[in-house]
Amino acid sequence: MLLNLRRWMLAAGLGVASLGLTGPAAAQETTFVFATSEVGVSSYNPIPATLTNAAFSMIYDTLVVQDSDLSYHPSLAESWEEAPDGMAWTFHLKPGVTFHNGRPFNAATVVKWIDLFRGSENSYMIDAVASVEAVDDLTVRFVMKNPDPNLLFNLSSSFMGIPDPEAVAELGEDFGITEAIGTGPFKLESFTQGQETVLVRNDDYTWGSPLSANKGPAHIARITFREIAEDSTAYLELKSGGVDALMSIPTDYLGEIKAEPELAVAEMPGQEVFYMAINVAKDPFTDLKVRQAAALAINQKEILDNVFGGYGKEAHNFLISALPESKLPADADISYDPAKAAALLDEAGWVLGADGVRAKDGQRLSVALWTQSDSIFRRLTEVVQAELKAVGIEAKITTFDSSTIKDEFKSGNQQLAVRSYFWPNADIVDWFFSAERLGYPNTSMFNDPKAEELRVKAMTGSATQEERIANFTAYHEYVTRQFPYAPIYQPVQNMAYNIDRIEMPAEIHATQITGVVMVDVKVKE
């Protein structure tokens, strides 16, 4: 009886195994898992989108694309010129480009698309554009209200992937859900919200960007993107062979993935910075010296090695190091210097007490240190706490969940807070330190007339890219010298894949895994 039962179970098990694990045997088919931060897209219509994922860049092409060094390269626009005063941009479009439904892509398309963009959730990206006109069939001119050297950055973002404006009008709310018509290397076959997105190769694609080795149709014929919100589940899918690649992996998993012989990690430059916000409006941090001391207490190297296992980079100012605006004079960069931190605190009148905590006029140097409940934040914040203690600052940790903390910041009661942001553009300095957004996003409550002057100049007073870089560098430098934050760490972006199944291009010429990369990816058979 028992033996029979066992045989029966074994047979059932084998039956299940053969059903469950018949992977994609057909040619060039693969399954990827979206980055956990990209889970939950509700539609593939980029115009009103509030969240996009990697598949947007595979369905839709943009006018320009960004390389991993953040430089701009042609995509649907073959070339472009900016007027010397910055008041107009002319884009020359690639000939012979068609949408997935066969309609041609031309200057009239761009005009109609920008019209649709106005009044949408994302219209601020073209706030500086007064009008768009078709010069001829393949030439389009953006006439500006004011110079905006950041136009190329906006045009390269996944929100500005170009859909067929006529299909958008015809399908209305269904556009992006039942159908999504772009000019990209893949077509949307099906989309099940919260579950999976299936793309098939666009066999007519011959307009690959110079950043891709392959200018023609993609190698992959069919790709399924799954949405898995839980990191450990996604990792187990990869490990068991259920999927071929994960588009994001937490740093905690890197060691484990590198130990598996069939798994590999592809690294891309990071777009994220961890930092500690210092509230300049709250004592004792109203004193510049105390702020500087707190910033100099952070040991970037120790954190990189011990908290992040050596993966990633130290951060010494507010911006990711791929940005030209991150190149500050050496003395403006903030680096670990406990001796100087101690000297500054002495100067400010905070005397070291017997318990290792400084005090001034009977007041202990004890502050609140806020953080998010995510495990990486908790671990990092404990190290920061110990480093502050080492120079005589006692920090008491309060933990909030990631959406609650934003509301708490609006109270302005924070003193120190460990935070991170993900953004590959210098205008993030404006976002987090502008006097217009005190509380949140300006968690440092930074409000300085000189900084505001530099900020306005950087945001609206630059005619060319060079001027914008110079203006933002000056603004970034000024803010940094006021110590409203302490830089900590820059992660790298990682994707993990199965080397028995997937061949990634040797170098990734994009800021993330986009259509530009995917046309070069091969499935091993």
Partner 1 sequence: MITYLTRRLLLLIPVFVAVSVVIFLILHLIPGDPLDNLLRVGSSPEKRAEMSARYGLDRPLVVQYGIWLGNLLQGDLGTSIASRRPVASLIGQALPHSLLLGALALAFSTLAGVALGVAAAIWRDRWADRLIMGGVLLGSTLPSFWMGLLFILAFSVQLGWFPVSGARGWESLVLPVLTIGLGGTALVARVARVAMIDAAERDFVLLLHAKGMPPGRIRLNHVLRHAMIPVVTILSLRIGWILGGAVTVEYVFARPGLGTTLIKALSQHDYPVVQACLLMLAMAVMLGTLLGDVVQALMDPRVRREAA
Site residues (vs partner 1, CB under 8 A) = 13, 16-17, 19-21, 39-40, 42-43, 48, 50-51, 121, 124-125, 192-196, 226-230, 232-234, 236-237, 239-240, 242, 402-404, 406-408, 423, 425, 427-428, 431, 436-437, 440
- Please say whether the beta carbons of 140 and 109 come within 8 A: no
Task: Please report how close the Cβ of residue 256 comes to partner 1 at its closest, in angstroms.
Answer: 13
Closest distance to partner 1 from the beta carbon of 273 (Å): 13
What is the nearest approach in angstroms of partner 1 to the Cβ of residue 428?
Answer: 6
10 Å CB burial of residue 375 (0-12, 13-18, 19+) is exposed
Which of 361, 354, 514, 496 has its CA nearest to residue 424? 514
CB of 232: closest distance to partner 1 in angstroms?
Answer: 6
Burial pattern 468-494, b for ≥16 Cβ within 10 A else e, equals bbbbbbebbbbbbbbbbbbbbbbbbbb
CB nearer partner 1, residue 40 or residue 96: 40
Query: Does an H or E element contain 194, and which?
Result: none
> Is the peptide bond preceding residue 284 cis, with omega within 30 degrees of 0?
yes
Residue number with CB closer to partner 1 (193 or 363): 193
CA angle 10, 14, 19 (to 5 degrees): 150
For partner 1, give the closer residue by CB, 157 or 300.
Answer: 157
Cβ nearer to partner 1, comparing 176 with 182:
176
H helix runs in 312-392, sequence order: 338-347, 375-390
* In the complex, minimum distance from the CB of residue 151 to partner 1, in angstroms, rounded to a whole number: 12
> CB of 130: closest distance to partner 1 in angstroms?
18
Choice between 286 and 413, CB closer to partner 1 = 413
Residue type for 525, please? Answer: E
Q: What is the chain's Cα-based Rg?
A: 26
Least spacing, CB of residue 431 vs partner 1, in Å: 5
Between 50 and 375, CB nearer to partner 1: 50
Q: How far is the CB of 86 from partner 1 (least distance, A)?
A: 18
H/E run at residue 406: helix 404-409
Tell the smallest beta-carbon distance from residue 229 to partner 1 (Å): 6
| Least CB distance to partner 1 at residue 102 (A) | 29
Pairing type for strands 366-372 and 394-400 reads: parallel
Rounded CA-CA distance 501/496 in Å is: 12
Name the residue nearer to partner 1 (CB basis): 196 or 272: 196
Closest CA to 497 of 220, 200, 191, 303: 220
What stretches of 172-221 adopt beta strand conformation (E)? Answer: 186-192, 196-201
> Closest CB to partner 1 among 30 and 209?
30
Q: Provide, rounded to whole angstroms, the least separation between the CB of residue 45 and partner 1.
A: 10
Nearer residue to partner 1 within complex by CB, 51 or 390: 51
The region, left, alpha or beta by phi > 0 then psi within -120 to 50, assigned to residue 349 is left
Q: 140 has which bridge partners?
A: 91, 134
Contact 53, 35 (CB under 8 A): yes
Q: Which is nearer to partner 1, 81 or 127 (CB)?
A: 127
- What are the backbone angles phi and psi of residue 496, rounded to the nearest 5°? -115, 140
Q: Which of 490, 487, 406 is nearest to 442 (CA)?
A: 406
What is the enclosing helix (H) or strand (E) of 17? helix 2-20
Sign of CA dihedral 117, 511, 273, 55: positive
Pairing verdict, β 64-66 and 245-246 = unpaired
Could you tell me which residues are beta bridge partners of residue 98? 104
Nearer of residues 48 and 392 to partner 1, judged by Cβ? 48
Give 75 or 425: the residue with its C-beta nearer to partner 1.
Answer: 425
Shortest reach from residue 12's CB to partner 1, in Å: 9
The span from the CA of 124 to the CA of 88, in Å, is 18
